[in-house]
Amino acid sequence: MSDDDRSATGSGLDRLASVNLNLLVPLLAVLEERSVTRAAQRVGLSQSAMSHALGRLRRLLGDDLIVRQGNAVTLTPRAVQLVAPLRATLEQVADVVRFPVFDPETDRRVITVAMTTSTAFVLGARLSRLVAERAPNATLRLRTIIVPTESTYTEHGVDVVLISEAIAAPYPRERLYDDRGVVVTSVDTPPESSALDLLSTQPHVVVDTERRVFPYSVLDEHGVPYRVGRLISDFLLVPYLVGRAGGVALLRYRVAREMNTLVPLRIEEFPFPIPGLGIDMVWNPRLGDHHFMAWLRQLLFDAARP
């Protein structure tokens, strides 16, 4: 482009003078929350003000940004592309203007942690207590997922994802706690029965999926016969039904231990060597508040401590 062309059109920075940059924070909030109501609460606006801002953003960008499809609200393709660079840009702006260092005593942010339902069962209560004690003005949001996708990090404002060590992730990870597979059955089973006896004689209670999950593959490798007696759609019903109605199940030890506080269970070690089932932390790569990350990292370690 020639100097004359630049003069005629103006640079990108010059054209920003005609844009209300105050709209960018509400834009990120509404894209990550997918809700005008929640976005308004997050940035401290009234719902009508947020709706007005969304209307201005739609006209400015020439795109609907968020649309309703049946009972769900989804992002348009243009909106999906905006989330990651917009979040990174606003975090860089925050660094430039040098906002005060994260203070858990006064900060009012929403702390978002994504994890499976079983991990939430293990950590959720302790994490909730610690946030209430150490960051009394913050809001803890627990997002339950099955397997994280790229959108888990870019679309939902997640600060950190907690996943099994067996699940791949595109970003660096750090071990939060180690776990292992155990055999869980009713306390009414014969005490002289070994874990192997229980696995081969008691009907199994398993999650209803197309294939048996690990460590059933280990039982298959060792030729251990077993019979599935009940198929359950909700993972956390498995130990409950085993404890109340009998049968046997394969679970993570820390899930079984937590459920044992609610329902009496017999917990035995798995009879064959198997790899670990640890839980890792994978941080949102666009999270630039290092003081907050260090604080949350320690909080998670404290919540996970046996």
Token pair, residue 43, equals 């940035």
pTM: 0.68
Q: What is the pLDDT of residues 21-32, one digit of tens each?
A: 788 888 888 888
The residue with greater pLDDT, 226 or 31, is 226
| Range in 102-111, 183-192, 250-259 with the lowest mean pLDDT | 102-111
Q: What is the pLDDT of residues 131-185, one digit of tens each?
A: 999 999 999 999 988 887 777 776 667 899 999 988 888 888 899 999 999 999 9
Q: Give kind and range of the element (H or E) at residue 249.
A: strand 248-252
- 95's CB contacts (< 8 A; 6+ apart) are 288
Question: Please, are residues 244 and 263 in contact by the beta-carbon 8 Å criterion?
Answer: yes
- The residues that bridge with 174 in the sheet, in sequence order, are 281
Above pLDDT 90, what percent of the chain? 45
For the chain, domains (ranges, CATH) are 20-96 (1.10.10.10), 110-177+278-304 (3.40.190.10), 181-269 (3.40.190.10)
Average pLDDT score, the chain: 86
What's the pLDDT at 100?
62
Q: How many CB atoms within 10 Å of residue 149?
A: 10
Asked if pLDDT for residue 290 goes beyond 90, the answer is no
Q: Which two tokens stand for residue 142?
A: 């627990």
- Tokens (6 digits) for 208: 């209803």
Tell which residue, 14, 22, 91, 99, has the closest CA to residue 56.
22
Say what the pLDDT of residue 10 is.
Answer: 52
Lowest pLDDT segment from 7-16, 68-77, 207-216, 268-277: 7-16
pLDDT at residue 151, rounded to an integer: 73
